[in-house]
Amino acid sequence: MHTISIHQFGGLDELIYSKQSRPQPATGEVLIKTAAAGVNPIDWKTCSGGGASSFIGELPFIPGWEFSGVIADPGDTDFKEGEAVFGMIRFPQPAGCYAEYIAAPAEQIARLPDAVDLTTAGGLPTASLTAWQALFDKGDLKAGQQVLILGAAGGVGHLAVQLAKWAGAHVSGTASLRNHEFLAALGCGRAIDYHHQSLSDYTNSMDLIIDCVGGETGIEALPCLKPDGVLVTLPSVTKDQVIAAGTAQRRRVEPIRCEPSAEQLTKIGELVADEHLKLHIGESFPLEKAAEAFALSQSGHVCGKLILTF
Ligand SMILES: NC(=O)c1ccc[n+]([C@@H]2O[C@H](COP(=O)([O-])OP(=O)(O)OC[C@H]3O[C@@H](n4cnc5c(N)ncnc54)[C@H](OP(=O)(O)O)[C@@H]3O)[C@@H](O)[C@H]2O)c1
């Protein structure tokens, strides 16, 4: 099968498109013929020696934690050959999703509704699970509350906007001006151009902030929280800095690590099928062009999600 792999941590030149043997599913696992895999910042961060690289063990490493595809071999599980599935698996341990076949734990994958196409589904799991867990598990978001999404046009952000709106919250989001129409179409009531507008007008007004940017951006947003509000910060590399600033300002900051969840993914699939949630594909690339997709992701200004197709 064709894969993308790295034999040492480093730059984009380390990504190698080559053939390897198919993985062998263990007990409780299925073999999946991959249709699409999403590109997330964690993929290039890990390949460059940051991100989840401390979990990778021996190289070579096949990147990618999310996929869509069809069951090629259900093994000893309840899945049937040919069923369409999607999932985020094994994170932060290696999952090998940038490959034509994937061995996946059955308990971490979900069936894909007929109404959702496989390409879209490949980019959904990580960003939608992160948005869901940040809004509802960490943030305990309720209808009628005020939520601010920092980085609202990105992979996680654009799904968080829609999920917050679906939950009945009032949604504000930061993005470059060129993305404001996009945010309005997603149901974001107020778009803030972070290049030219300060957040000082929103002091003490937010029940929940989802910080998809981290560092100084997250810290600058802390005064926007109501005294009992919470800021959920996503980038792990700056989380300690944002938590320390929160402690100093007596504001609650929660870090997050996205967890696989078949149950939440099933709900997310239903929301997409019912058109309450839509994944925006910024651009898609064939698997062998993974380095181009990584370079675009590294620019930090992707609108929606990048997808690798097989
Ligand atoms: N902890 C976890 O479990 C977890 C899970 C998923 C993601 N993450 C992390 O969360 C972060 C976001 O992930 P993602 O997939 O959403 O990334 P992404 O799609 O690459 O985010 C790109 C977006 O960031 C926006 N942006 C860049 N700088 C900004 C700023 N200063 N203020 C506001 N928006 C800004 C850009 O907006 P404009 O183009 O409009 O400027 C662009 O739309 C990454 O660091 C990722 O590693 C963590």
Which residue, by CA, sits nearest to atom 21 of ligand 1? 154
Residue 31 C-alpha to ligand 1 middle, in angstroms? Answer: 31
For residue 16, the model assigns a pLDDT of: 98
- CB burial of 184-211 (b: ≥16 within 10 Å; e: otherwise) equals eebbbeebbebeeeebeebeebbbbbbb
Cβ(304) – ligand 1 distance below 6 Å? no
Alpha-carbon distance of 265 to 109, in angstroms, equals: 8
pLDDT, residue 271, reads: 98
pLDDT at 116: 98
Output the pTM of the full model: 0.98
Between CA 1 and CA 173 the distance in angstroms is 42
- Which residues contact residue 186 at a Cβ distance below 8 angstroms, ignoring those fewer than 6 apart? 158, 161, 162, 165, 278
Q: 3-state class of 116 per DSSP?
A: coil
Ligand 1, atom 27, lies closest to the CA of: 300
The residue type found at 227 is P
Nearby residues of 194 by Cβ (< 8 Å), 6 or more positions away: 150, 174, 175, 176, 217
End-to-end distance of the chain based on CA atoms, in angstroms?
11
37 lines ligand 1 (CB under 6 A): no
Which residue, among 125, 131, 130, 95, has the nearest Cα to 258 in the 3D structure? Answer: 130
What pLDDT is attached to residue 298?
98
102: phi then psi, degrees, rounded to nearest 5:
-130, 135
pLDDT digits (tens, 9 = 90+) for 183-229: 999 999 999 999 999 999 999 999 999 999 999 999 999 999 999 99
Distance from residue 156's CA to the centre of ligand 1 (Å): 7
Reported as a single tens digit per residue, the pLDDT across 19-59 is 999 999 999 999 999 999 999 999 999 999 999 999 999 99
Residues of the chain below pLDDT 50: none
Q: Is the CB of 202 under 6 A from ligand 1?
A: no
172, 195, 110, 162: which is closest to 305 by C-alpha?
A: 162
Residue type, 244: A
Which residue, 14, 110, 127, is CA-closest to 71?
Answer: 110
Distance 105 CA to ligand 1 centre (A): 28
User: Rounded CA gap, 146 and 194, in Å?
Assistant: 18
- Substitution site in 156, 178, 294, 296 for ligand 1 pocket (most atoms within 8 Å of beta carbon): 156
Backbone angles phi, psi at 47, to 5 degrees: -65, -25
Under DSSP, is residue 69 helix (H, G, I), strand (E, B) or coil? strand
Tokens of 179: 């993305």
Q: Is 219 exposed, middle or buried (0-12, 13-18, 19+ CB in 10 A)?
A: buried
Specify whether the CB–CB gap between 120 and 142 falls below 8 A.
no
Which 8-state DSSP code applies to residue 166?
A: H
Domains in the chain, CATH or no CATH each: 2-124+279-309 (3.90.180.10), 127-255 (3.40.50.720)
CA of 54 from ligand 1 middle (Å) equals 22
Contact 211, 189 (CB under 8 A): no
What pLDDT is recorded for position 293? Answer: 98
